[in-house]
Amino acid sequence: MTQHTRLDQTPIPFIDLAAQKRRMGAAVDDAVLRVLAHGQYCMGPEVFAFERALAEFGGARHALSCASGTDALLLVLMAKGIGPGDAVICPTFTFCATAEVAALLGATPVLADVDAATFNLDPKSVERAIATAKKAGLKPKAIIPVDLFGLSADHDAIGAIARAENLFILDDAAQAFGANYKGRRLGTCGLATATSFFPAKPLGAYGDGGAVLTDDDDLIDVLKSLRVHGQGTDKYDTVRIGLTGRLDTVQAAVLIEKLKIFPDEIAARDAVAARYAAGLSDVATVPFVPDGYQSVWAQYTIRLAPGRRDALGVALKSQGIPTAIYYPKPLHKQTAYARFPIAEGGLPVSERLADEVISLPMHPYLDAPTQDRIIGAVRAALRG
């Protein structure tokens, strides 16, 4: 008889920013100290250097850094004059910020369903949401596709609907900056791409931050103005209603260093995802990545038969393995969003996903032995 070895129950982090910090050594500390030395805390040289690097990385003509991913979305809708009477189509299976920005401006978010395999906007539901908006007397103006969990939305299909209906696309790539869609990085799908540098996102700062990427020369000028209170030709000339929407110079300095290792981190995330898929695809529905797409794996989200995921979460927690539910409620079931219209035919896929999904630890520094511990624990819990 073999001796039973005690299970390793050392807590595993869901995202390991400390491992990333160790890898970068003194590079970030030195970058921050340089900002403290020159003292240009707002709009210092690092902000503009970061914007140039970001535009190049995303393949866009322009990048505008700002205070958060939410501000990135908001600034674009403000620049386009979105307001009362306008409908903005977005998925219901997303983080609230996607719809929040439309509602903040007095416009109406109209919620559409997602595809069960990719978790991203279902083009047919987008068409139904546009019809819903028109019947309600609203003017459809924009679609905000979300690239959920790091995987690009079906931008060709959604872009075709937008062109046919004369709407603009604002890509919510808060979870997916760096992802590849049919041979190019996100940053040029639609009029503008918004992203977030919240610390837990694939490219995270040490605080809040965000950016807009666009090829549109006129839009970038308006965004620059809106970011600093609608500034005109100089500081004392105010030509539109704007925000305090700047990215701190310290965060730009951190992000310049993190962007340098980001391609390597994306490859490491992909290897972690491949290992999960190999270890779990016979016991759970693992994420689907269509041909020609590369995810940046903001989350590694599996699906289980209804009623099974809570027990899995409890079993893993008792072994020091954290999980998360993104998202337990689609937006149309949230108190603040329940009053907004939903696409004709309802949102059944999102409702089902909200009961079936569970996300496992995912970051570029998840080593093979630790991951095998997670895979073993998931298998044991699902088979037991």
Ligand X SMILES: *Cc1c(COP(=O)(O)O)cnc(C)c1O
350 binds ligand X (CB under 6 A): no
Nearer to ligand X (CB atom), residue 150 or residue 159? 150
Nearer to ligand X (CB atom), residue 115 or residue 373? 115
198 binds ligand X (CB under 6 A): yes
We find the least distance from the C-beta atom of residue 321 to ligand X, in angstroms, to be 23
Alpha-carbon distance 50 to 210, whole Å? 12
Task: Look up residue 92 and give its DSSP letter.
Answer: S
Locate 15 and state its tokens: 């995202």
**Part in contact with ligand X (CB under 6 A); list of ranges 12-20, 35-43, 47-55, 93-101:** 93-101
Q: What is the biggest distance separating any 2 CA atoms in the chain, rounded to whole angstroms?
A: 83
91 binds ligand X (CB under 6 A): no
Nearer to ligand X (CB atom), residue 96 or residue 157? 96
We find the least distance from the C-beta atom of residue 348 to ligand X, in angstroms, to be 21
Task: Give the count of alpha carbons within 13 A of 109, CB side only.
Answer: 28
We find the least distance from the C-beta atom of residue 177 to ligand X, in angstroms, to be 11
We find the least distance from the C-beta atom of residue 72 to ligand X, in angstroms, to be 8
Instruction: Indicate the residue whose CB is closest to ligand X.
Output: 69
Nearer to ligand X (CB atom), residue 146 or residue 381? 146
Tally of CB atoms within 10 A around 171: 31
Nearer to ligand X (CB atom), residue 12 or residue 90? 90
271, with CB counted inside 10 A (0-12, 13-18, 19+), is: middle
We find the least distance from the C-beta atom of residue 145 to ligand X, in angstroms, to be 10
152 binds ligand X (CB under 6 A): no
Alpha-carbon distance 126 to 129, whole Å? 5
3-state secondary structure (DSSP) of residue 306? coil
**Part in contact with ligand X (CB under 6 A); list of ranges 33-41, 169-177, 183-191, 286-294:** 169-177
**Part in contact with ligand X (CB under 6 A); list of ranges 94-102, 241-249, 264-272, 353-361:** 94-102
Alpha-carbon distance 358 to 328, whole Å? 9
Alpha-carbon distance 204 to 175, whole Å? 10
Our CA dihedral for 143, 146, 147, 152, rounded to 10 degrees, sits at -20
Nearer to ligand X (CB atom), residue 69 or residue 287? 69
Nearer to ligand X (CB atom), residue 94 or residue 132? 94
46 binds ligand X (CB under 6 A): no
Nearer to ligand X (CB atom), residue 69 or residue 159? 69
Which of 111, 112, 174, 252 forms a contact with ligand X (CB under 6 A)?
Answer: 174
Which of 65, 68, 92, 319 forms a contact with ligand X (CB under 6 A)?
Answer: 68
70 binds ligand X (CB under 6 A): yes
370, with CB counted inside 10 A (0-12, 13-18, 19+), is: middle
Locate 45 and state its tokens: 């040289």
140 binds ligand X (CB under 6 A): no
Alpha-carbon distance 172 to 316, whole Å? 31
205 binds ligand X (CB under 6 A): no
Q: Please report the beta strands in the chain, taking only residues with DSSP state E, as ranges in sequence order.
A: 62-66, 86-91, 108-112, 139-143, 168-172, 180-181, 184-185, 192-196, 210-214, 293-294, 300-303, 357-360
Which of 32, 146, 321, 382 forms a contact with ligand X (CB under 6 A)?
Answer: 146
Q: Which residues bind ligand X (CB under 6 A)?
A: 68-70, 94-95, 97-98, 146, 172, 174-175, 196, 198, 208, 210
